[in-house]
A = this chain, B = another copy of it.
Amino acid sequence: MCRFLLYKSNSPILLADLLTRPAHSIIMQSFNCKLRLDLRRPMNGDGFGIGWYDEEPQTPGCIFTSTLPAWSNLNLQRLAEKIKSALVFAHVRATTGETATAESNCHPWQYGNLMWMHNGDIAGFEKIKRRLQNSLSEEIYLSIQGTTDSEHAFALFLNKLKQSASGGKALRDRTEFSFQELRIAMLATIAQINEWLDDAGVTDTSLMNFAVTDGQSVVCTRYITSSEKEGASLFYSSGSEFRSDAESGQYRMIKANKREDVVVVASEPLTFERTDWMVIPTNTLLVITPKLNVHLHPIHDKYWNPMRHQSTV
């Protein structure tokens, strides 16, 4: 079971304050995780990836990945002490044993200004892989570097985004997208995967917690192909400052005023103050606008179940 974190704020945070110093960072969670679903692979030790944008959000972000576990990676620890960013994606990975542990299989992935990561897996992916590949434009098809379901879902998303875009500019050269565009392409991606899974007769449950950004807007989902079960956990928090307490090493979301200056979405709460964290309901899409407004959109498809949401805590 993988795990991800995304951070967006008005002002840059030092990556160390987010990723390596706090005792309950996503890196340390990779040691000891309480909310995991998959007991066969209890550890996230098969690699990790960090993506971030600098002060020029209209240029592509940077990615640092490694097949070494995050907690013993000296380069990560040193870089995190230097790099500041107002938009960070972080992912720790546990292979499911089907795909090789290779840097090309580490999240997040990039395409032009876009960045993508995934927590979960697409059940029976091998049954729709060829059809998915054949649906792609030549350029997007050839951009795939690895073998994971997650990267292929990104390719499909890119293809949907490209199809819905009006007019000329190549996807790779566009420096920004509206969050509406991203949201529509995300929904189209999930709908398309579902359609193909149905056609292929796949009945196992897929977990599709996806996150995408163009450096300015963020769109992410908590999604499961079931109307009964809950999706892989996903939480968010917002406030005026997210920082770790120097003494305790614990994160805290400071709410000094009414303004939303920071939004964090994570597979597990990063602070002990559970009241800081809202559960993102299963089968919901979350948008963070460039101005840091947060919108939640239920995904009304055949797996939508209003009763499930009432019981979510």
- The count of residues in chain A whose C-beta lies closer than 8 Å to any C-beta of chain B is 43
Could you say which residues of chain B place their CB within 8 Å of the CB of A134?
130, 134
Shortest beta-carbon contacts, A-B, top 8: A102-B102, A45-B45, A100-B104, A72-B101, A62-B82, A45-B69, A126-B142, A46-B72
Closest chain B CB from A143 CB (angstroms): 10
Question: B65 near A75 (CB under 8 angstroms)?
Answer: yes
Question: A45 near B62 (CB under 8 angstroms)?
Answer: no
Which chain A residues numbered 77 to 96 have a C-beta less than 8 Å away from chain B?
Answer: 78-79, 81-82, 95
Q: Which B residue sits closest to A82, measured CB to CB?
A: B62
Question: A69 near B42 (CB under 8 angstroms)?
Answer: no
User: Is A205 among interface residues, defined by CB-CB distance under 8 A?
Assistant: no
Instruction: Choose the segment among A144-152, A220-228, A293-301 that binds chain B (4+ C-beta atoms closer than 8 Å).
Output: A144-152
Count of identical protomers in the assembly: 4
Cα distance, A42 to B45, chains bound together (Å) = 12
User: Is A32 among interface residues, defined by CB-CB distance under 8 A?
Assistant: yes
User: Is A74 among interface residues, defined by CB-CB distance under 8 A?
Assistant: yes
User: Is A276 among interface residues, defined by CB-CB distance under 8 A?
Assistant: no
Q: Which B residue sits closest to A63, measured CB to CB?
A: B78
User: Is A68 among interface residues, defined by CB-CB distance under 8 A?
Assistant: yes
Question: B75 near A100 (CB under 8 angstroms)?
Answer: no
User: Is A289 among interface residues, defined by CB-CB distance under 8 A?
Assistant: no
Could you say which residues of chain B place their CB within 8 Å of the CB of A42?
31-32
User: Is A43 among interface residues, defined by CB-CB distance under 8 A?
Assistant: yes
Question: B75 near A95 (CB under 8 angstroms)?
Answer: no
User: Is A243 among interface residues, defined by CB-CB distance under 8 A?
Assistant: no
Question: B142 near A129 (CB under 8 angstroms)?
Answer: yes
Question: A75 near B72 (CB under 8 angstroms)?
Answer: no
Question: B68 near A104 (CB under 8 angstroms)?
Answer: no
Could you say which residues of chain B place their CB within 8 Å of the CB of A102?
100, 102-104, 146
A63, A64, A82, A130: residue with the most chain B Cβ atoms closer than 10 Å: A82
* Contact among B45, B62, B66, B74 with A72 in the assembled complex (CB-CB below 8 Å): B45
Closest chain B CB from A20 CB (angstroms): 12
Q: Which B residue sits closest to A53, measured CB to CB?
A: B82
Could you say which residues of chain B place their CB within 8 Å of the CB of A46?
69, 72
Question: Assuming A62-B78, A142-B126, is B45 touching A41 (CB within 8 A)?
Answer: no
Could you say which residues of chain B place their CB within 8 Å of the CB of A103?
74, 100, 102
Question: B78 near A64 (CB under 8 angstroms)?
Answer: yes
Question: A141 near B146 (CB under 8 angstroms)?
Answer: no
Q: Which B residue sits closest to A139, measured CB to CB?
A: B126
Closest chain B CB from A36 CB (angstroms): 12
Question: Assuming A32-B42, A141-B130, is B74 touching A75 (CB within 8 A)?
Answer: no
Question: Assuming A43-B31, A82-B54, is B147 touching A145 (CB within 8 A)?
Answer: yes
Cα distance, A74 to B69, chains bound together (Å) = 16
Cα distance, A78 to B101, chains bound together (Å) = 15
User: Is A10 among interface residues, defined by CB-CB distance under 8 A?
Assistant: no
Could you say which residues of chain B place their CB within 8 Å of the CB of A250?
none
